[in-house]
Structure 1
């Protein structure tokens, strides 16, 4: 068989993504239920970690200023969405319309799920007598963490889909790991989220990516931007 054209994405890894999605469903649902039911051991752990990191944030003015810049500008959800918009435009310009729409739809659904869960769970954010930052809306899941996980996960998937070289893949993987982990840690450091909010955002974001890859692989992902996918 002839290989797919260089500018066309190869067939997405449907079975692997489906297994990943199934594996992520269990911890995501379990954490959601524990938070919604206000399971005391989890709340106690959250409180202990949050109080410790808040004390460090109050004392560490320099690290706190850096965290605010990172969380409000570099890793802000709107920055992440702007990055996705650039990628979507690039995909559309190359003729990969289905892929561009799928990426856009995943981000839109992810934002809707995030806001729906915030409203349904209604978890209050931490409250401090000496806050170092502020945030609005309910706490669970962390919107920053979930958005970063979705965007970075999708971009890593696109690198694989388009056959990125080893050096580019490693650079992308490192940048994604730093961004996803970093934004979650800044939200805890600044005292605007409980640790389980951030973990929930990471899990749900990863789950959204796995589901998106799975559905794309068994739907329009069976075709490339320029025609049917072929294999070697």
Structure 2
């Protein structure tokens, strides 16, 4: 009969397999999108999303887009981190900071050199500093808001946690969709950003119960991390 640790071991193995699949998929997609033009189906999908997105979703995007720019996002991140520290403590805030560090994945954009769609959904020349792959908005929201949802699941009360998780999921979904519908990105820019960020989010989920164990017998580190 399997021992009591069988299920945790299976979950751990499943997590590693999922991370490996996501990382491999992200790498393969990153190589694929370096072609001279959009991949099959991207133009049609982009036009459909542009033409069929409800006006309410676009208006919502008008509200959230300004706070996710390169200039505003750091301030938003600091505010969210401060709120997490205030409500749930230092340790969750440390994990959120680690997640924020992973948003540096967006800097790969100038290596891939993939242009954004034009207003007529056409391919154009690449301009340094304006790469579209991966979507920085998607990387940021999946990593940061996904980590907030993860922390809420563990640290918020049972009545408020589902609301926080649901709100974070909605923000991630709305941001991902409108990056395409508003012609800021091609669909695979969004998919690539989601895959990259998902690997980082899995790493944070793996660290959450384990980082605290490192502080056992190390009081200075324990005080630093708030464990």
**Do both proteins adopt the same fold according to a TM-score greater than 0.5, normalized to the shorter chain?**
yes
Corresponding residue for 2:201? Answer: 209
Is the alpha carbon distance of 1:101 and 1:128 closer, same or farther for their aligned partners in structure 2, counting shifts above 3 Å?
same
Instruction: Name which structure has the greater RCO, CA cutoff 8 Å, separation 6+.
Output: 1
Aligned with 1:49 (options 45, 51, 61): 45
Q: Give how far 1:35 is off.
A: 4.0
**TM-score, scaled relative to structure 2:** 0.71
Matches within 5 A, 1:28-47: 28-38=23-33, 43-47=39-43
Match of 1:125 among 116, 120, 142: 116
Distance 1:228 1:82 in 2: 23
Please give the alpha-carbon distance, in whole angstroms, between the structure 1 residues aligned to 2:77 and 2:9. 22
Distance 1:71 1:43, change over 3 A: farther
Aligned counterparts of 1:228 and 1:71: Cα–Cα separation in 2: 32
Root mean square deviation of aligned Cα: 3.9
Give the gaps of 5 or more residues in structure 1. Answer: 1-12
SS of residue paired to 2:39: helix
Separation in 1, partners of 2:106, 2:194: 11
Aligned pair count? 208
Query: What do the CA deviations read for 1:56-107 (whole angstroms, capped 9, x no partner)?
Result: 57xx8x5585155134236657666545423433455589444433321320
Range with bigger deviation, 23-32 or 91-100: 91-100
Taking the TM superposition and a 5 Å limit, the aligned residue runs for 1:100-119 are 100-108=93-101, 110-115=102-107, 117-119=108-110
What is the distance in 2 between the residues matched to 1:78 and 1:193? 19
Determine the structure 1 residue equivalent to 2:148.
155
Provide the TM-score with structure 1 as the length reference. Answer: 0.70
Equivalent residue in structure 2 for 1:186, among 166, 170, 178: 178
**Change over 3 Å in CA distance of 1:83–1:168 after alignment to 2:** farther
Could you say what secondary structure the match of 2:184 adopts?
coil
Change (3 A) 1:78 1:228: closer
- Output the CA distance in 2 between the equivalents of 1:122 and 1:145: 18
CA–CA distance in 2 between the matches of 1:95 and 1:171? 16
How far apart, CA to CA, are the structure 2 residues paired with 1:14 and 1:93?
Answer: 34
1:17/1:210 contact within 8 Å kept: no
CA distance in 1, matches of 2:139, 2:204: 14
Aligned position for 1:5 = none
